[in-house]
C-alpha cells in the first residue's frame, strides 16, 4: 500500500501537464489563424469594420452646404435684368455713325484713337462769329462739339467748316443748365475725359485747350476753369488771372474789408470753387455735379459755391484756376431777347424788361437753391458734411 501512494502523484501531474500542452496548442493555432485572416483582409475592410456606422435611429441629418449663387449680388443696370449681361450697353456717346459699312471694322480701328473730351455751348445766331473762333480752337480729333441753340436757329450754322461734325440741339429760350440737365446725362458723356460747359461770349486768343488739359492733369484738378483776363466784363477776384501769371492758383487773399480770405481759408469765396461761365469738369466730377443741378432752377445760381463737394476729395486742392491758359469773358447779355438783334426802340425796351426778369429770377433761384440745400442736409441722417466748419476765418 505504501508503494502505491508513492507512484500515483507523479502520474497525475503528467496527465495534468499534457492537458495544459494540448490546450495551449489549440489556443496558439487559433491565434495564428486569426492573424492570418487579418493579414489577408484589405485595410479598407478593416477600417470599415472598425468604423461601423451607428444605427439609423442614432443618425441626425446634417443640413447640406448650399452652393454659392454666382449670379447673386451682381449689380445690373436697372431695367436690364431680363437681358443677358453681355448684350447690355448701359452707356452711350455722341459719336456719329455712317449709314453704310461694317461697324465692327470701325470699332477695331478705333482701338488706338485719342481720348476725347466734350465742348458744350449754348449759342444764338447773333454770336456766330465769336462762337466760330471759339470752336475752331478745339481740334476735332480730341473734342466732340455740342451746340445748344437757345434761339432755335440751326440752319444758319451749316456753312461753318466744323458744323457738320457738331451735335445740334435746338430749343427756344432755354439756358445752358437746362440743356445740360437734359442732354448731358453722365451715362451719355461717360466716354469723355472732361466736359467743357462754356458760355458763348468767350474770346480764346490766349487759350489752347490741349495745353490746358495738360496742366489740369498734371495738377490733378477735378473741377477747373481758365483764368479770366482782367479786362473781362464780369469776374470774381478768385477767377481773375493772377498778377504773377503762374501755372495754377487755388485761392486768393484778402486781409482787409468785408469777406476776408487768409491762407487757412478752405472754401468759397476764398478757395474751392469756380464761376459758371467756363467750368471744366472731370468725368467723375460731372457725374456728381449733374445730380446737383435742379430741374427747375435753370440759372444754377448758388451751385457754384457747392461744386467743391464734387471735387473727389479736398476742394482746396482739387479745384483750381489755370493762369497759363486764360480767356476773355465779354459779358454780352443774350438771354431774354432770344439772341436776336433788336431793331426798334420798342423792341429794345421789351428786351431790357426781359433781361430784368431774368435777373430777378436768378436771385430767386439762388434763395431757393440755398433753402433746398439746408433742407436736404437736415433730412439726410446718413450724410456727413465733409466741410462742417466755416470756410473762412478771421485771421
Per DSSP, the three-state class of 92 is coil
pLDDT of residue 236: 85
Note the pLDDT tens digit of each residue in 313-347: 999 999 999 999 999 999 887 765 544 544 455 55
Chain-centroid distance of CA 294 in Å reads 19
Rounded CA separation 188/167 (Å): 13
Query: Superfamily assignment of 114-334 in CATH?
Result: Spore Coat Polysaccharide Biosynthesis Protein SpsA; Chain A (3.90.550.10)
The closest of 233, 227, 229 to 252, measured between CA atoms, is 227
pLDDT at 38 over 50: no
* pLDDT at residue 394 greater than cutoff 70: no
pLDDT for the residue 321: 97
| Cα angle, residue 271 at apex, residues 270 and 272 outer, rounded to 5° | 145
Average pLDDT over residues 361-390: 94
pLDDT at 55 over 50: yes
Predicted TM-score (pTM) of this structure: 0.77
Residue 106's pLDDT band (cuts 50, 70, 90): low
pLDDT one-digit tens code per residue, 278-294: 999 999 999 999 999 99
Where is average pLDDT lowest: 38-52, 104-118, 196-210?
38-52
Question: What confidence tier does 5 reach under pLDDT thresholds 50, 70, 90?
Answer: very low
Query: Each residue of 126-167: pLDDT tens digit?
Result: 999 999 999 999 999 999 999 999 999 999 999 999 999 999
CA dist., res. 131 & res. 10, Å (int): 141
What rounded mean pLDDT belongs to the chain?
A: 83
Parallel, antiparallel, or unpaired for β 223-228 and 319-329? parallel
Task: Kindly give the residue spans of alpha helices, DSSP state H, lying in the chain.
Answer: 2-40, 43-50, 103-109, 128-136, 176-183, 209-219, 283-292, 315-318, 345-379
Choice between 296 and 58, residue whose per-residue pLDDT is larger = 296
Neighbours of 252 (CB within 10 A): 17
Give the C-alpha separation, 171 to 343, whole Å: 23
Judged against a pLDDT cut of 80, whether residue 249 lies above it is answered with yes
Sorted by sequence, the CB contacts under 8 Å of residue 157 that are 6+ apart come out as 123, 125, 128, 147, 163, 166, 168
pLDDT for the residue 369: 98
Which is higher by pLDDT, 58 or 352?
Answer: 352
Percent of the chain with pLDDT over 70: 73
Range of lowest pLDDT (54-63, 223-232, 339-348): 339-348
Of the listed ranges 89-98, 107-116, 126-135, 261-270, the least confidently predicted one is 107-116
* pLDDT recorded at residue 389: 72
CB contact at 8 A, 290 and 181: yes
Strongest mean pLDDT among 71-75, 107-111, 114-118, 277-281: 277-281
What per-residue string of b and e applies to 215-243 under the rule 16 or more CB within 10 Å gives b?
Answer: bbeeeebbbbbbbbbeebeebeebbbbbe
Amino acid at each position: 500500500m505504501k508503494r502505491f501512494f508513492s507512484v500515483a502523484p507523479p502520474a497525475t501531474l503528467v496527465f495534468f501537464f499534457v492537458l495544459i500542452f494540448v490546450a495551449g496548442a489549440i489556443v496558439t493555432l487559433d491565434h495564428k489563424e486569426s492573424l492570418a485572416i487579418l493579414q489577408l483582409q484589405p485595410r479598407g475592410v478593416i477600417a470599415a469594420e472598425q468604423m461601423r456606422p451607428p444605427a439609423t435611429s442614432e443618425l441626425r441629418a446634417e443640413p447640406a452646404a448650399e452652393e454659392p449663387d454666382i449670379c447673386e449680388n451682381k449689380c445690373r443696370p436697372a431695367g436690364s435684368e431680363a437681358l443677358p449681361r453681355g448684350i447690355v450697353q448701359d452707356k452711350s456717346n455722341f459719336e456719329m455713325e455712317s449709314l453704310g459699312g461694317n461697324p465692327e471694322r470701325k470699332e477695331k480701328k478705333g482701338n488706338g484713337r485719342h481720348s476725347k473730351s466734350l465742348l458744350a455751348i449754348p449759342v444764338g445766331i447773333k454770336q456766330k462769329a465769336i462762337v466760330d473762333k471759339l470752336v475752331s480752337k478745339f481740334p476735332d480729333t480730341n473734342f466732340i462739339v455740342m451746340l445748344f441753340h437757345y434761339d432755335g436757329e440751326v440752319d444758319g450754322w451749316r456753312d461753318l467748316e466744323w458744323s457738320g461734325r457738331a451735335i445740334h440741339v435746338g430749343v427756344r429760350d432755354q439756358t445752358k443748365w437746362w440743356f445740360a440737365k437734359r442732354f448731358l446725362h453722365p451715362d451719355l458723356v461717360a466716354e469723355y475725359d472732361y466736359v467743357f460747359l462754356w458760355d458763348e461770349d468767350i474770346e480764346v486768343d490766349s487759350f489752347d485747350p490741349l495745353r490746358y488739359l495738360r496742366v489740369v492733369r498734371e495738377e490733378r484738378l477735378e473741377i477747373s476753369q481758365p483764368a479770366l483776363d482782367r479786362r473781362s466784363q464780369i469776374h470774381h477776384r478768385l477767377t481773375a488771372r493772377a498778377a504773377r501769371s503762374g501755372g495754377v492758383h487755388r485761392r486768393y487773399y484778402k486781409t482787409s474789408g468785408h469777406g476776408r480770405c487768409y491762407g487757412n481759408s478752405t472754401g468759397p469765396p476764398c478757395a474751392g470753387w469756380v464761376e459758371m461761365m467756363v467750368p471744366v469738369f472731370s468725368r467723375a466730377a460731372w457725374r456728381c455735379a449733374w445730380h446737383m443741378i435742379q430741374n427747375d432752377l435753370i440759372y444754377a445760381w448758388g451751385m457754384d459755391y457747392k461744386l467743391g463737394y464734387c471735387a473727389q476729395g479736398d476742394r482746396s486742392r482739387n479745384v483750381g484756376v489755370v493762369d497759363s491758359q486764360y480767356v476773355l469773358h465779354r459779358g454780352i447779355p443774350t438771354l431774354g431777347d432770344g439772341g436776336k438783334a433788336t431793331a426798334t426802340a420798342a423792341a429794345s425796351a421789351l428786351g431790357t424788361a426781359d433781361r430784368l426778369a431774368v435777373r430777378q429770377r436768378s436771385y430767386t433761384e439762388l434763395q431757393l437753391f440755398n433753402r433746398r440745400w439746408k433742407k436736404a442736409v437736415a433730412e439726410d441722417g446718413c450724410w456727413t458734411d465733409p466741410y462742417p466748419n466755416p470756410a473762412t476765418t478771421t485771421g
